[in-house]
Amino acid sequence: MQSSIQHLIERYQQGERIFHGLDLSGCDLSHLQLPEIDLSYSVLREASLVGTDLTWAILRDVNLTNANLTQAHLHRANLRRANLTTANLKQADLRAADLSGATIANAIFVDSNLWGTVAPDGVSPLQRP
């Protein structure tokens, strides 16, 4: 599994951003810098993304069940229809992220920044000037 992560990082550093349909279940991607990555349709069940920079990332239809996203940077990330069941998003930066259609059953959002986030029902719960 480590070799596939290393391969992903190398391709990302070479400028590639689209990585659809990967299975990174259980992988440790903590503290990586991956802004604007497109992991649509990927599986990251029980993956560790602690402190990972996923600013402007496209995570449409991604399975993040039981993933650890503590302190992850998800500012303006597209999480449409993502499965975040039991995911840990403590202290995550979700400002202006799009969670339209996402499954968030039992997800943990303690101390997360949800300003301007589009909730699963399509409503932005924190509309502030």
CA distance 29 to 41: 17
| 126 has a pLDDT exceeding 70 | no
Give the chain's mean pLDDT. Answer: 94
pLDDT grade for 128, boundaries at 50, 70 and 90: very low
Higher pLDDT among residues 121 and 67, named by residue: 67
CATH topology of domain 1-120: Pectate Lyase C-like (2.160.20)
Domain boundaries, the chain: 1-120
What is the tens place of the pLDDT at every residue in 86-114?
999 999 999 999 999 999 999 999 999 99
The Cβ of residue 18 has, within 10 Å, a number of other Cβ atoms equal to 10
DSSP 52: -
- Residue 127's pLDDT is 45
